[in-house]
Structure 1
Amino acid sequence: MTAPHYFFALPIPNEIKNYLYEWTQHIKEKAAFKRWVHREDYHITLFFLGNVEKIMLENSLQEMNNLIEPLSSFSLSLTVPGSFGQSPSPRIFYAGTERPEQLVKLQRKTADCMEMFGFPSEKRKYRPHITIARKWIGEEPYPGADAFLPLEQRQWQAKEVYLYKTHLDKSPKYEAIHKIKLQK
């Protein structure tokens, strides 16, 4: 059994999860991806920790509580589908989300906090998204996200940050083990 990994993320409300799941059911015929993300695993990652010793996790959680609790909740909405990786065979297919200033600030504060504890930060620009599927396996090259149904610009309120633990041998594979509420 592999050691669990941890990450901080924004949870997705059930009505958005259900909409995205229904949307995937309409595009699966044209979208030849190896693995589709379980609807309960939809989230917007803020910072990936990886495998963490218990004491380091507890210390970083305390700091995250102090950092996040004074921040205000904010509005998010879906934008357009997209992908990461080489265009003939991308590794990630996602539902895009807005990138409001509050989200960018939250992600930056989370990354700065985790860097203080020795976690390496992502070097690429932060691109918020909800992973929908992984690894293109189609016989034809990936047609691009424009080939699929557009996403409705559904909106929701980001009200909390979760610390998730991975269970690679289960489905759904992410377990919310700690919740930090944002101010109303």
Structure 2
Amino acid sequence: MHRLFVALRPPPAIRDALADVMDGIAGARWQDDDQLHVTLRFIGAVDRPMAEDVAAALGAIQASAPTVAISGVGRFGQRGRTEALWAGIVPPEPLAALHRKVDQALVRVGLEPERRAYLPHVTLARIARGLQLEPEVEASLARHASLTSEPFAVHHLVLYESHLGRSGASYEPIARWPLD
């Protein structure tokens, strides 16, 4: 089985700027450069024939390269516990439109449609269950609330395979297609 997702990779200068804000929370599992991306659609575990269908469907997508910027930070969590920290992406509309195209292409090859609301972001850190880091999280969010970047274009749609391990996930780009 192949655990797949579709994403956009920010340019090196943007990834460097994000790396500069990834500190200040002991115990957080900060993303490394290879993990910094904007997910368009999580696919999950599929067999090889479906992975090949997914790649063919993604290769047929025609879309313009979106121009976006980093804006602010936030968190995902449940029951008052932070699970992940992220940097926001603005404007969301170009990525939401690309997300819809990707989702429609994947539904045509037999995958279920995405049910969650789409919020474009770059995950910066994950917080393990059982860690009580809310004071540090609050301080980090306040410290980096004004995080912004210059606008940047993202020129490729990338299909990644996620490999889960003891120290977290590693992401392997397995195909990419130009956006023009």
Q: TM-score, normalised by structure 1?
A: 0.84
The amino acid that maps onto 2:123 is: T
Q: Distance in 2 between matches of 1:84 and 1:130?
A: 12
In structure 2, the partner of 1:15 is 13
Q: Distance in 1 between matches of 2:42 and 2:53?
A: 16
Change (3 A) 1:13 1:171: farther
Displacement, 1:172?
7.4
Q: Distance in 2 between matches of 1:77 and 1:125?
A: 20
1:87–1:144 CA contact under 8 A, matched in 2: no
Change (3 A) 1:131 1:62: same
Q: Distance in 2 between matches of 1:19 and 1:97?
A: 14
Displacement, 1:133?
0.6
In structure 1, the partner of 2:170 is 173
Q: Does 1:36 align with 2:33?
A: no
CA offset digits 1:112-152 (Å, max 9, x no partner): 11122232333221100000011262455542764222312
Residue segments in structure 2 that go unaligned for 5+ positions in a row? none
Residue segments in structure 1 that go unaligned for 5+ positions in a row? none
2:2–2:48 CA contact under 8 A, matched in 1: no
The number of residue pairs the alignment matches comes to: 175
Q: Distance in 2 between matches of 1:139 and 1:36?
A: 14
Does the residue aligned with 1:106 lie in a helix, a strand or coil?
Answer: helix
Q: Report % sequence identity.
A: 29
Does the residue aligned with 2:175 lie in a helix, a strand or coil?
Answer: strand
Q: Distance in 1 between matches of 2:98 and 2:159?
A: 14
In structure 2, the partner of 1:6 is 4
In structure 2, the partner of 1:48 is 42
Q: Does 1:154 align with 2:150?
A: yes
The amino acid that maps onto 2:14 is: I
Change (3 A) 1:114 1:145: farther
Does the residue aligned with 1:112 lie in a helix, a strand or coil?
Answer: helix
Does the residue aligned with 1:133 lie in a helix, a strand or coil?
Answer: strand
Q: Distance in 2 between matches of 1:94 and 1:58?
A: 31
Q: TM-score, normalised by structure 2?
A: 0.86
Q: Distance in 1 between matches of 2:83 and 2:134?
A: 15
Counterparts in 2 of 1:96-135, with a 5 A limit?
96-135=88-127
The 10-residue stretch of structure 1 (123-132 or 93-102) with the greater mean CA deviation from structure 2:
93-102
CA RMSD of aligned residues (A): 2.2
